[in-house]
């Protein structure tokens, strides 16, 4: 029997609901259960692909090319299960599908309404494709009380009656603020958010309460009494040093046992927490530190680089070092000398990005890393910028540009150009310049092969690679010969021989300089760090020791 855990949030957003769901998923896996995590987002965008990273943080790309919520990244990192396009749905997608059905006449003359048509659609989505799992964790985005969330809350309420008895529970994540002047943690906001849930017919079985300090027993009793939740099922979720301490912390507070209690089952095995103990130990006992400059555009909003930050942490775990990140807004190099910012760095990383602003600064960061032998890792846009550096400063193509930044100039050399067609599963995908923006990129996993003599092939220990992409522009293969003649190696190319996937300088020219057209950070896990991040941090460590 599949068991459902519906996870809702209250009081304020940004409490880490996704992380809580992911950590609970990991705890259930530690008991050898098969777990699936899914996210329902109440906003009206069809997917987060078109939302600014400033508003929504990173857009997480799945193997099958869905542009999805960053919580799916947490789910993958904590459970290792690759998410897919069926693990995230938005109200926009629900309405798009319903309206398409309505236009086709599928509703046979019925008035199409939120209840039952929208709620049925959501319920069907929740219930589909779960046969192989023991537990399905379904997180509702936003906080209880949001107008746009109502159809989703209503759907999970209905499922409480539709599903067999004891096969679904409700977990509510809330927050206790600390009032410094009176020295008290307050229960009232949680009481109100549970009241809000009750008003739409949902009684939580478990309360997971975020707090920045121990919640006294007295306050927990109060929460239990006023929120109508058993005392043992009021669980404190205290801030932790690292997100990877969360599974152990929740386990110690008894969250997994409370889940089994709520389902009225005995767990099938004792918890095997070894991997989380090991990860926590490594995090708390680094044997050194490296500093990596991340030269990007949204550096004020760290959520825009969620997976990247985590992959760097994983690279550190693999090398037993702490990774300090120095965030640099790339446009500073348009006015100032990069050496002020970059000369003391153990590694320079230019991550993915879009648009012209800051691009010249990113090219300058690549030039600086190349000229000063500092390990350089260029991801997606970061690879394209490294190619423009090589074209302009080594190959003498002084006007080399990406057509992303000056689409109308025909006279410049577009060493990076708009992708208009590419192969997907042996079929040609076509796009044109005036097409829709949403979902129009080369998205998801594509295979490519690496030159066996390349540095990157050595790092992977394998020449057949499949990684996740999200891009619209591409290094123009016509410049390969010219760029290779000055030392930039095109080490990985798509199977049709048309799309450069990775570039590098040989280790004779530079200790570690690699660019990849894809996003390796999306596949990194704390217990299985991505080989490129592991190797990059190891090179940075060497650079730091030589200093």
Distance CA 165, CA 251 (A): 26
Q: Is 429 a catalytic residue?
A: no
> Counting contacts by CB under 6 A, is residue 57 touching ligand GLN?
no
Distance CA 43, CA 48 (A): 9
Q: Which is nearer to ligand GLN, 260 or 422 (CB)?
A: 422
Q: Which is nearer to ligand GLN, 470 or 523 (CB)?
A: 470
Q: Is 510 a catalytic residue?
A: no
Q: Which is nearer to ligand GLN, 169 or 483 (CB)?
A: 483
Single out the residue of 404, 467, 501, 504 in contact with ligand GLN (rule: CB under 6 A): 404
Q: Which of residues 294-333 bind ligand GLN (CB under 6 A)?
A: none
Q: Is 192 a catalytic residue?
A: no
The neighbouring-strand residues paired with 137 are: 5, 37
Distance CA 252, CA 273 (A): 11
| In the complex, minimum distance from the CB of residue 418 to ligand GLN, in angstroms, rounded to a whole number | 8
124 vs 98, 118, 130, 158, CA distance in Å?
Answer: 13, 10, 11, 12
10 Å Cβ neighbour count for 164?
Answer: 9
Q: What is the DSSP string of 313-372?
A: HHHHHHHT-EEEEEEEEGGGGGTS-HHHHHTT-SEEEE----SSTTHHHHHHHHHHHHHT
| In the complex, minimum distance from the CB of residue 307 to ligand GLN, in angstroms, rounded to a whole number | 12
Instruction: Report yes or no: 69 and 48 within 8 Å, Cβ to Cβ.
Output: yes
> Counting contacts by CB under 6 A, is residue 499 touching ligand GLN?
no
First to last CA, the chain: 59
Among residues 196, 380, 455, 510, the one annotated as catalytic is 380
Which stretch in 137-145, 152-160, 233-241, 465-473 sits in contact with ligand GLN by CB under 6 A?
465-473
| In the complex, minimum distance from the CB of residue 380 to ligand GLN, in angstroms, rounded to a whole number | 3
Instruction: Report yes or no: 206 and 255 within 8 Å, Cβ to Cβ.
Output: yes
| In the complex, minimum distance from the CB of residue 187 to ligand GLN, in angstroms, rounded to a whole number | 44
Distance CA 500, CA 492 (A): 6
Q: Which of residues 344-383 bind ligand GLN (CB under 6 A)?
A: 352-354, 380-381
| In the complex, minimum distance from the CB of residue 352 to ligand GLN, in angstroms, rounded to a whole number | 3
Burial environment of residue 101 by CB neighbours within 10 A (0 to 12, 13 to 18, 19 or more): middle
Single out the residue of 471, 510, 523, 541 in contact with ligand GLN (rule: CB under 6 A): 471
Among residues 172, 413, 448, 519, the one annotated as catalytic is 519
| In the complex, minimum distance from the CB of residue 69 to ligand GLN, in angstroms, rounded to a whole number | 17
> Counting contacts by CB under 6 A, is residue 473 touching ligand GLN?
yes
Distance CA 20, CA 149 (A): 19
- Binding residues vs ligand GLN (CB under 6 A): 352-354, 380-381, 404, 470-473
- Residues designated catalytic: 380, 519, 521
């Amino acid at each position: 029997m599949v068991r459902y855990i519906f996870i809702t949030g209250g009081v304020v957003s940004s409490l880490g609901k996704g992380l809580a769901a992911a950590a609970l998923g990991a705890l259930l896996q530690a008991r050898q259960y098969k777990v699936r995590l899914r996210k329902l987002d109440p906003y009206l965008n069809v997917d987060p692909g078109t939302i600014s990273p400033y508003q929504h943080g990173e857009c997480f790309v799945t193997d099958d090319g869905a542009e999805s919520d960053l919580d799916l990244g947490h789910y993958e990192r904590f459970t290792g299960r690759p998410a897919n396009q069926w693990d995230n749905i938005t109200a926009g997608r629900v309405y798009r599908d319903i309206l398409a059905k309505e236009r086709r006449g599928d509703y046979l003359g019925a008035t199409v309404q939120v209840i039952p048509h929208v709620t049925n659609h959501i319920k069907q989505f929740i219930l589909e494709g779960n046969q192989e799992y023991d537990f399905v964790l379904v997180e509702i985005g936003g906080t209880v009380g949001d107008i746009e969330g109502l159809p989703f809350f209503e759907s999970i309420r209905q499922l409480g009656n539709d599903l067999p008895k004891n096969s679904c529970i409700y977990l509510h994540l809330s927050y206790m603020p600390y009032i410094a002047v009176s020295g008290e943690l307050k229960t009232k906001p949680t009481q109100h958010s549970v009241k809000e849930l009750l008003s739409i017919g949902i009684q939580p079985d478990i309360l997971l309460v975020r707090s920045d300090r121990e919640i006294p027993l007295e306050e927990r009793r109060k929460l239990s009494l006023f929120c109508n939740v058993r005392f043992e099922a009021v669980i404190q979720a205290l801030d932790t040093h690292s997100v990877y301490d969360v599974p152990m912390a929740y386990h110690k507070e008894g969250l997994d046992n409370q889940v089994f209690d709520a389902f009225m089952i005995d767990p099938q095995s004792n918890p095997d927490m070894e991997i989380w103990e090991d990860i926590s130990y490594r995090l708390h006992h680094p044997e050194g530190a490296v500093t990596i400059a991340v030269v990007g555009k949204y550096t004020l909003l760290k959520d825009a680089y969620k997976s990247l930050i985590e992959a760097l942490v994983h690279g550190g775990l693999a090398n037993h070092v702490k990774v300090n990140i120095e965030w640099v807004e790339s446009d500073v190099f348009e006015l100032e000398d990069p050496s002020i910012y970059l000369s003391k760095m153990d590694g320079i990383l230019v991550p993915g990005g879009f648009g012209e602003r800051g691009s010249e600064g990113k090219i300058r960061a690549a030039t600086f890393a190349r000229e000063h032998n500092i390990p350089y890792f260029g991801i997606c846009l970061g690879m394209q910028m490294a190619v423009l550096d090589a074209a302009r400063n080594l190959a003498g193509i002084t006007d080399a540009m990406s057509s992303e930044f000056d689409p109308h100039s025909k006279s410049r050399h577009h060493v990076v150009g708009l992708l208009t067609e590419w192969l997907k599963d042996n079929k040609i995908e076509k796009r044109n310049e005036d097409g829709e923006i949403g979902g129009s990129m080369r998205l998801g996993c594509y295979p490519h092969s690496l030159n066996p003599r390349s540095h990157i092939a050595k790092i992977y220990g394998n020449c057949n690679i499949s990684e996740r992409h999200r891009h619209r522009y591409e290094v123009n293969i016509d410049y390969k010969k010219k760029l290779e003649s000055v030392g930039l190696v095109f080490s990985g190319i798509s199977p049709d021989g048309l799309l450069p996937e990775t570039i590098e300088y040989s280790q004779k020219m530079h200790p570690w300089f690699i660019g990849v057209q894809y996003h390796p950070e999306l596949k990194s896990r704390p217990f299985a760090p991505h080989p490129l991040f592991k190797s990059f941090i190891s090179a940075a460590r060497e650079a730091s020791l030589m200093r």
